[in-house]
Structure 1
Amino acid sequence: MRRQPHLRELMDGPDCDPDALRRTYAGFGILNPVVSGWGATYRRLLRPLLSASVPRTLLDVGSGGGDLARRLARLARRDGLLLEVTGVDPDARAHAYASAHPAPGVRFVRATAAQLDERFDFVVSNHVLHHLSDVPGFLVETSRLARVMTVHSDISRSRFASVAFGAATAPFFPGPACGGSFIRPDGLVSIRRSFTPAELRELAGPDWRVIALNPTRLLAVSTGRG
């Protein structure tokens, strides 16, 4: 399939149903651990670089409802490792939801990555790249903030991803017209907006390693600057 960046997700609309939006943020906490692959990414890339005696810092860019920020902090705490997580998102609705669901070792800031004047050991994002009109600029900006590693995780666009997501979510995530969330309709749009590994490699350039995790996921990884 051709990429379709002109499509827009319902939850990005300023006048979208606030109840459906809250259900969407809550649903991400259920869906993302199943489909996003962050458990394996944490074990393979982040956990070996964390310490039980030296605190590390992590920035989650475009943190939305905060499910990934809370999960990474929880995983590190479970393993006896010191990790302070900051979730940053410019959307007031996302920030309000995330702030209303605090977790130990996590703080939420309403801002963009470009507005931050501090650096972190790790910078990560989940399902952000496909929203962007300037992916190379975002990669430069986020890697500038990372001392150790930057990891961006997103959907790998394919017909299989679209069919599998549509079929798997239909019984569990009804649309907003049925009193549900934006997860299924927006997820299908997200797949159409996403990149293939080859497309992302071309955009990212030689400083980034683009890894196809499976038919539906990819990572863009860069080592830090200090």
Structure 2
Amino acid sequence: VVGTYTVSYNVSDDAGNSATEVIRTVTVTNAPNQAPLAVAGADTNSGDAPLTVNFIGDESYDPNTGDVLSYLWDFDDNGATSIGINPTHTFQNSGNYNVTLTVTDNGTPILNDTATIIVSVDPGPSATFSGSTSVSTSQPSVTGTLTIENGAVSFGLSGYGGSGSGTSLTFTISGIDTWYLSMVAGQSGSLDTPLIPEGTYTYTLSGSFGGTSGNGGGVGPN
């Protein structure tokens, strides 16, 4: 136990002669503070954007019994940080992120340690249309080039049958397939395509309208 203690003792020989009593003072102090060890983990460190990562800091520890640790995560993502032990962060953009965990104890003196994880975020699949992606009674047909990059993409076809006998839509990706969607007046509808592999295609979206008020439709990547 930490403290100052007085110790006294006597020495005697085998004839029973005693020496003068000796008194000593002994001081017991705390062991020197040792730095904690930061251990940073994650359930994944790579994937397509947006990438959600669950980080793990609870394996960090301090050699000094009784020291309390505090945590600071820097996600290297536009200043985003967290003081949680096991935080979650979503990386919206592609790139390589040097995520650091700093663990600090409350000893004397205060000490800390840092660990780093590299998270690699890929762009993810994308689809780009060169032209319009919607049709109406004033623009019943559109065509252009569709470019799919970084993986396969599916598309959603949706429309509304405003007036008259409603709306019928036709969406064609050259060399792949054609999809049809019909809506009666006053009702909406939707249809999803299967995954379309990356590449460059010609697309056409056209509509057949049985009325003039509110009829229309469009297409876009899911």
Q: TM-score range by the shorter chain?
A: under 0.3
Structure having the higher Rg: 2
Relative contact order: is structure 1 or structure 2 higher (C-alpha 8 Å, sep ≥ 6)? 1
Instruction: Decide which structure has greater helix share.
Output: 1
Instruction: Decide which structure has greater strand share.
Output: 2
The alignment's TM-score, normalised by the length of structure 1, stands at 0.22
